[in-house]
């Protein structure tokens, strides 16, 4: 019997996401928070990776398959940065119109990632057996507040009446605890 100890491919669950690009970020790479592009490497210690989307089940999502380009140990650790956008078909994000809120002035958006909905908000290995850390940058109308299940690291005044809010969670959590809320929050 021959055991498999390496792989060239990394798979992430996704559902109704638009993937733009995928990069390997080498261990020890210094990262910086930028105003326009989120968290980026400060040097050229990255390489673009090829990827494809496989459609195994329309009712449970798709598989983002990243070709690492070389064999890596199954128990090894790699760091990838995935640039993507959510879509209006995502199951994790719920929207309230201004009329549905107490202030009746601004919309409200919140996430509900339980069961398998997180994969429609973030490409990840969607199982409670895996705990994740994450970083995220969110653009929102300057009149709205943004909160996540992570520490807010910085907010920027952006263009066209939007602010950019950046978060980082260094405590590993199951993906279904990943949360976001955007609205005019008063407490």
Tens of pLDDT, residues 16-45: 999 999 988 876 665 555 555 555 555 567
Could you tell me if 164 and 155 are in contact, meaning their C-beta atoms sit under 8 angstroms apart?
yes
| Predicted pLDDT at 156 | 87
Residues 99 and 75 in one domain: no
| Predicted pLDDT at 103 | 92
Residues 101 and 77 in one domain: no
Residues 60 and 139 in one domain: no
Expressed as residue numbers, the domain containing 97 is 93-183
| Predicted pLDDT at 133 | 87
Could you give the number of structural domains in the chain? 2
> Which conformational region is residue 28 in: left (phi greater than 0), alpha (psi within -120 to 50 degrees), or beta?
left
Among residues 85, 117, 141, the one where a domain terminates is 85
| Predicted pLDDT at 2 | 62
| Predicted pLDDT at 5 | 84
One-character DSSP codes across 60-120: TEEEEEEEEEEEEETT----EEEEEE--TT-SSEEEE-GGGSSSSSS-EEEE--TTTGGGG
**Over residues 125-134, mean pLDDT:** 87
Residues 17 and 48 in one domain: yes
For the stretch 68-94, pLDDT in tens is 988 888 877 788 888 888 888 889 999
Q: How far, in Å, CA of 58 to CA of 110, rounded?
A: 24
pLDDT score of 177 more than 90: yes
> How many CB atoms neighbour CB 126 within 10 A?
24
Residues 125 and 106 in one domain: yes
Residues 49 and 80 in one domain: yes
pLDDT score of 1 more than 60: no
Q: Cα separations (Å) of 21 from 67, 81, 82?
A: 12, 8, 6
Residues 59 and 102 in one domain: no
- The share of the chain scoring above pLDDT 90, in percent, equals 48
Of the candidates 121, 123, 100, the residue with the CA atom closest to the CA atom of residue 112: 121
Q: Is the pTM of this model over 0.85?
A: no
> Which conformational region is residue 152 in: left (phi greater than 0), alpha (psi within -120 to 50 degrees), or beta?
beta
Q: Would residue 1 count as lying in a domain?
A: no
Residues 53 and 99 in one domain: no
Residues 81 and 109 in one domain: no
Among residues 25, 50, 85, the one where a domain terminates is 85
Among residues 52, 85, 118, the one where a domain terminates is 85
Q: How far, in Å, CA of 183 to CA of 173, rounded?
A: 24
């Amino acid at each position: 019997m021959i055991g498999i100890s390496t792989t060239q491919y990394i798979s992430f669950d996704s559902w109704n996401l638009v993937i733009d690009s995928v990069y390997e970020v080498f261990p020890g790479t210094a990262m910086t928070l930028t105003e326009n592009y989120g968290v980026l490497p400060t040097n050229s210690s990255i390489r673009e990776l090829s990827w494809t989307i496989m459609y195994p089940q329309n009712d449970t999502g798709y598989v983002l398959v990243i070709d690492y380009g070389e064999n890596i140990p199954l128990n090894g650790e790699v760091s990838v940065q995935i640039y993507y956008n959510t879509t209006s078909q995502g199951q994790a994000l719920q929207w309230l119109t201004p009329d549905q809120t107490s202030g009746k002035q601004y919309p409200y958006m919140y996430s509900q990632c339980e069961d398998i909905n997180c994969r429609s908000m973030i490409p990840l290995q969607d199982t409670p057996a895996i705990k994740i850390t994450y970083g995220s940058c969110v653009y929102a109308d300057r009149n709205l507040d943004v909160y996540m299940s992570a520490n807010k690291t910085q907010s920027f005044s952006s263009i066209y009446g939007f602010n950019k809010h950046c978060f980082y969670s260094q405590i590993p959590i199951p993906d279904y605890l990943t949360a976001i809320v955007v609205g005019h929050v008063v407490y």
